[in-house]
Structure 1
């Protein structure tokens, strides 16, 4: 079920179906996004997704998984458009970047207990400067 869960999360993300994304997480699930502090629990994860959905248009264009038991590693690429200025970042002017990233997911009792997204903040900052 690990590969299928990864596909469901990424497909729901592309559809901006935050309810479906959050539903895949355990109630105390952790979501790590790059260098940011982790979000824990459905409410915090939903708040993060809402904030990112408001500032960025993110479309995951391709992905592939490697499965090991209840763990899933995914390499992927997304087209990201910066549509609303985020405090501490340069002004949003519709800058668009094709960005590679990786995710690492752990399932516990068929729910996502840990989800980590790794990307290059330097590449992102350079693209939107």
Structure 2
């Protein structure tokens, strides 16, 4: 069950379907952003997705999903293939640069929904690619 939920979450991401991603989340989801603050709740997750969609166009490939037998934890490793669309605060200027970046996410799940999302990537690598 947990691997199916994670697969649905990432399929929605690649389809640019924020509502589909939100449907996979618990109401009080804890979203641990790489190099950022923890955001609690679907509303804050949706606002984060809106911001990201304005600044980046990303598709995830080479997805590998791991899940515990009890369905309470999962992880995924993938490649982020992106285009930097709009300058994000505190980051290099956007000029339509493309990037390819290994990344991973860790999840906690309960009752078929994601309760925690933690995403990691190498920010210095990304900055080097877009600078």
Which TM-score applies when normalising by structure 2? 0.95
1:71 correspondence with 2:73? yes
Residues in 2 aligned to 1:83 and 1:59: alpha-carbon distance in whole angstroms: 14
1:4 correspondence with 2:4? yes
**Once the 2 structures are TM-superposed, how far is the Cα of residue 61 of structure 1 from its aligned partner?**
1.5
The equivalent position to 1:81 in structure 2, one of 80, 83, 99, is 83
2:107 counterpart residue number: 105
Residues in 1 aligned to 2:92 and 2:61: alpha-carbon distance in whole angstroms: 25
2:117 counterpart residue number: 115
1:42 counterpart residue number: 42
**Greater displacement, 72-81 / 48-57:** 72-81
**Once the 2 structures are TM-superposed, how far is the Cα of residue 100 of structure 1 from its aligned partner?**
0.5
- 1:45-91 deviation per Cα after TM superposition (whole angstroms, max 9, x unaligned): 00000000010000011201111131111111110110111121111
- 1:92-127 deviation per Cα after TM superposition (whole angstroms, max 9, x unaligned): 011111110011011011111001111001111111
**Greater displacement, 119-128 / 48-57:** 119-128
Taking the TM superposition and a 5 Å limit, the aligned residue runs for 1:55-70 are 55-68=55-68, 69=70, 70=72
Aligned length in residues: 129
**Once the 2 structures are TM-superposed, how far is the Cα of residue 35 of structure 1 from its aligned partner?**
1.5
Structure 1: stretches of 5+ with no match in the other structure: none
Residues in 1 aligned to 2:97 and 2:119: alpha-carbon distance in whole angstroms: 21
Structure 2: stretches of 5+ with no match in the other structure: none
Which TM-score applies when normalising by structure 1? 0.96
